[in-house]
Amino acid sequence: MNIRSFAYSLKDLELDPIAIEHYMGYKPGEAPDPFPGLIREVLNEISPYCDIQGGYRIFKKIEMEKKPYRIRLEDQSFLIKRIISNQMGESERAALFICTAGAGIGEWSKKLMREGDLMKGYVVDVIGSEVVEGAMDKIQDELENEMKLKGFTITDRFSPGYCGWQVSEQPKLFSMFPPGFCGVQLSDSCLMYPIKSVSGIIGIGSNVERKGYICSFCEMKNCIYRNKRYEIGC
Query: pLDDT value at position 95?
Result: 98
Domains, the chain: 3-232 (3.40.109.40)
Query: pLDDT value at position 229?
Result: 41
Residue 22: partners with Cβ closer than 8 Å, 6 or more residues away: 28, 227, 228, 230, 231
Whether the predicted model's global pTM rises above the 0.85 cut: yes
Query: pLDDT value at position 28?
Result: 83
Residue 188: partners with Cβ closer than 8 Å, 6 or more residues away: none
Query: pLDDT value at position 212?
Result: 79
pLDDT in tens, 102-121: 999 999 999 999 999 999 99
Q: What residues in the chain have per-residue pLDDT under 50?
A: 216, 227, 229-234
DSSP state for residue 215 in the 8-state scheme: G
Query: pLDDT value at position 211?
Result: 86
Query: pLDDT value at position 221?
Result: 54
Query: pLDDT value at position 67?
Result: 83
Query: pLDDT value at position 29?
Result: 84
Query: pLDDT value at position 23?
Result: 87
Cβ-contact 89, 65 below 8 angstroms:
no
At residue 37, what is the residue type?
A: G
